[in-house]
Every structure is written in structure tokens, then in C-alpha cells.
Amino acid sequence: MREISLLKDLKHHSVVELFDVIIIDTSIYMVFEYLDMDLKKMLDRYKGSFTPMLVKSYMHQMLDAIAYCHLNRILHRDLKPQNLLIDREGHIKLADFGLARAVNFPIRVYTHEVVTLWYRAPEILLGTKFYCVGVDTWSLGCIFAEMILKRPLFPGDSEIDQLFKIFRQMGTPDERSWPGVSHLADYKESFPYWEAQPLPSEMRHDLDAHTLFCELMHYDPTKRISPKSAMNYPYFDNVCLVPPEL
């Protein structure tokens, strides 16, 4: 019912449209607009379709959708390729608001059992009791990298493995890189220490893409760029709608 309530209020060209709600006996059916497939299937089946211009187009549309949600005080909380639907004209739309929720400010305490593991922000993995729009921003950064690399950036198989995959790439966080991290419930002084490593070569070819990714993926969630601000980055100067090759 939460998803129905939120979707009725969200009207945006990059958010899947809810056409109707049908109640039969004790069952509820939601009728959505049709799109050809989700981004996960496209990544699995059509890796060659992810040209730099298509990645740019998809990323701009995703940022637009999340900026709209955040403007309306809604956290999606489960951003992943399976929840992004695409069509043959080049549109990508945000779907599945089952874990989304309206945000009240000041920030309230939420359950941290949200967001599929590979796209889960480090503050959630470390047991934060306070989180907000930065959790969606981190997930977008992971999806951005996955479209460029054509593979998941942090494919962990448990919460601790997920954390350590992030640490190995970005360096183990401390109070200098992330003020307050040592006070999070699941932070351990005994965590292994890793130095930050250069990003995969595919992500260093385009300086503007590299810069945008880094701005989305700050450890400190308060330093992550907002989706609205990200849309104005030089990376998107020549963005346009690009039909994928399916």
C-alpha cells in the first residue's frame, strides 16, 4: 500500500507510471506502463550496447528521477539495475517503490535492512541509525560504474565481504576521510587497513565521468553530490536520448 500511495503522487517522465489499481477479493493488482526490459537483463544480454553515450543518457535520466523523488521528500532505498526499466527508444524509468518511504525532517531513525547488498551505502553496512538521501546517491554511483565496466563494482556475498570490497577499492575509512565513522555501531578499530586504489582503467578514460563518479561516492554521505547538482556536471554537456541496440 505504501508503494501505491507514493506512486500516485509521483508524476515524472523518468518514473514508471501507475495506470490503475485493481482490487479483486483480497488481492491487489497494480497496472503499470509497459517497458521492454530491466537494466539488469540488458546488462546480462546486451553488454555491447553500453556505449559511452548510452551510459551518459541513462545516467542523466536516473539522476533526474531521483532528484525528483528527493525534491518530493521520498527516498527510494532500493536502487539497483532490476528496478530500472528501459525501452527501445532510449528511455530508462525508475520502478519498484516497495521499500521507498517519505522522509520527515529532521532525519528519523530507519531500519538499515534496505538496499540490495551490492548497491548498499557504507553507512548502512556500518549500522548507522541516521541516513537520508545519500543512500540513493551511493547506489546510483554503483550503477553508473556497472554500466561502464559491464560488471558489478562491489559484488559482495555478505555484509562484511561487501564492506571489505569497498575498503579494498576506496581505502579503509577513518576519522580523517569520514568524520564520525568510528562512532557507527558496526565500525571496528580492528578492520584491516587498505590504501585506496586507482579505479578500473575503463573508468579513468573519461575524466568527466571519473569526476562525477568520485563526487557520488564520497564515504561521508553529507559530501556526496546531490542528483540535481550532478545533472549540471560537464559530463552531461552533450547528453541526448540514445536508442539502445537490442
Q: Catalogue the active-site residues.
A: 78
User: Rounded distance, CA 161 to CA 227, Å?
Assistant: 28
Q: State which amino acid sits at residue 227.
A: P
User: Residue written as cell 521528500?
Assistant: 73
21: helix, strand or coil? strand
C-alpha to C-alpha distance for 42 and 88, rounded to whole angstroms: 11
Q: State the Cα–Cα distance between residues 127 and 207, nearest whole angstrom.
A: 33
Contact between 16 and 34 (Cβ < 8 Å):
no
Q: Which residues pair with 94 in a beta bridge?
A: 15, 84
Query: Closest Cα partner for 76 from 7, 151, 155?
Result: 7
Q: Which amino acid is at 170?
A: M
Nearest to 141 by CA among 230, 244, 233: 230
Sign of CA dihedral 111, 167, 231, 88: negative
> Which run of H or of E encompasses 74?
strand 74-75
